[in-house]
Amino acid sequence: MLWRLDSRAALIADKRPLELKPSDYLKRNLFVTTSGQCDDVPLIAALTALGPDHVMFSVDYPYEDSVTAGRFLDKAAIEAGVRQRIASDNAASLMRLKLS
């Protein structure tokens, strides 16, 4: 949808000018979770669209199983550094938490 937002906004750019493309505002301000999605395809799509700093791990308990979600994250087709960011670093940064 990011491409579509930008393409539609371009049609009215002379009437409603923006400093950035709509997708840039979303990429800067939108955070998503993996909630209930234990599959590489949507995870990689979210990472590609928003970047690794804007995706966070979530289980969606009680609707999804915590063990299943944890195992998925452990084996997801992503690099270890990205896994760490998704698992805890991004949430800690967003919520200004200090992890010890």
60 catalytic? Reply is yes
- How do residues 25-69 score in pLDDT, each as one tens digit? 999 999 999 999 999 999 999 999 999 999 999 999 999 999 999
Q: Which domain holds residue 97?
A: 31-100
Same domain, 13 and 38: no
Residue 43 and residue 83 in contact, taking contact as beta carbons nearer than 8 Å:
no
Banded model confidence at residue 3, pLDDT cuts 50, 70, 90: very high
Q: Rounded CA gap, 49 and 53, in Å? A: 11
Same domain, 11 and 60: no
Residue 72 and residue 62 in contact, taking contact as beta carbons nearer than 8 Å:
no
Same domain, 97 and 76: yes
The 10 Å CB-count burial string (b at 16+, else e) for 45-60 is ebbebbebbbbbbbbe
- How do residues 27-38 score in pLDDT, each as one tens digit? 999 999 999 999
Looking at the structure of the chain, the number of domains it has is 2
Active-site residue, from 6, 53, 60, 89:
60
Instruction: Return the pLDDT at 33.
Output: 97
Instruction: Return the pLDDT at 84.
Output: 97
Same domain, 55 and 73: yes
Same domain, 72 and 98: yes
